Amino acid sequence: SSSSRDDSLRDKRAQILSRGLPKQKPIEGVKQVVVLASGKGGVGKSTTAVNVALALAANDSTKEVGLLDADIYGPSIPKMMNLKGNPELTPKNLMRPLKNYGIACMSMGFLIEETAPVVWRGLMVMSAVEKLLRQVDWGQLDYLVIDMPPGTGDVQLSVSQNIPIAGAVIISTPQDVALLDACKGAEMFRKVHVPVLGLIQNMSVFQCPKCKHETHIFGADGVRDLAKTLGLDILGDIPLHLNIRETCDSGQPVVISQPQSDA
């Protein structure tokens, strides 16, 4: 019949299209992968990723949490998690993550000098990402939080297509320029069939420490409006707060150093 012919044609087309795509393979020992992404750089994605990983562990002490810094050109997890040094190798030649505050961390920053720039073309970057994904002995993790580089390029596609991802979280400031790129980020994940768990509005309001007057430096509700347009949830609204910035810069993120604070 014509309908069964159509079905077989559709199956063949799907097979041909999927040939060029890598097969998704779970990371050994890792139950759930959550990626934190942004379209634009400088919106506080790494700061949020670090605090989310620490909050997941603080929220349930039975859970094991890891943090992977997939930003090859600008790794910031080593400084924020107060970690230095090179990973040891296991007998199977896998890298052992460095640990602080109970979180297992891996980053390009552990493999190069702190001040050395990574001057690489795309293929070398992809090879490094593959190693960070596949050649690390994570042990047994309930959650692996991946801090993605900004944008919608090779790294984002490679990570999304190589490993099963439980969900993506998009971080943006309420500024129009950042929202345009956040929208592209959300659409990219939809295209590669990664569920978008929701948006986080960062640097949403600044409160003067002296007079307590509140100013929406980057705009008021841009991310909320975008979430409505995309049919997504707002997962959090984080103020532009000195403590959040200072604690991450000093390697003592606010979730671990000031757990009772509003921030």
pLDDT of residue 115: 76
Q: Could you identify the residue written with the tokens 């379209």? A: 39
d(CA 150, CA 146): 12
pTM of the model: 0.86
Q: How would CATH label the architecture of 27-258?
A: 3-Layer(aba) Sandwich (3.40)
Collapsing DSSP states into helix, strand and coil, what is residue 78? Answer: helix
**What angle, rounded to 10 degrees, do the helices at 154-162 and 176-191 form?**
40
Q: In Å, how far are 164, 178, 210 from 198, measured between CA atoms?
A: 18, 16, 34
Q: What are phi and psi of 109, to 5 degrees?
A: -60, -20
d(CA 186, CA 171): 10
pLDDT of residue 18: 60
Q: What are phi and psi of 46, to 5 degrees?
A: -65, -40
| Residue-level pLDDT, tens digit, the chain, 263 residues | 677 778 888 777 767 666 656 678 999 999 999 999 988 888 989 999 999 999 999 999 999 999 999 988 889 999 999 999 999 999 999 999 999 999 999 999 998 887 777 888 878 888 888 899 899 999 999 999 999 988 878 888 889 888 999 999 999 988 888 888 889 989 999 988 999 999 999 898 888 888 888 888 887 888 888 889 989 999 989 888 888 999 999 999 999 999 998 88
pLDDT of residue 66: 97
d(CA 69, CA 238): 21
Task: Return all residues near 203 (Cβ < 8 A) that are at least 6 apart.
Answer: 43, 44, 173, 174, 217, 218, 238, 239, 240
pLDDT of residue 119: 83
User: Where does the chain have alpha helices with state H?
Assistant: 2-19, 45-59, 77-80, 122-134, 154-162, 176-191, 222-230, 242-249, 254-257
Q: Of all helices (H) and strands (E), which one includes residue 143?
A: strand 141-147
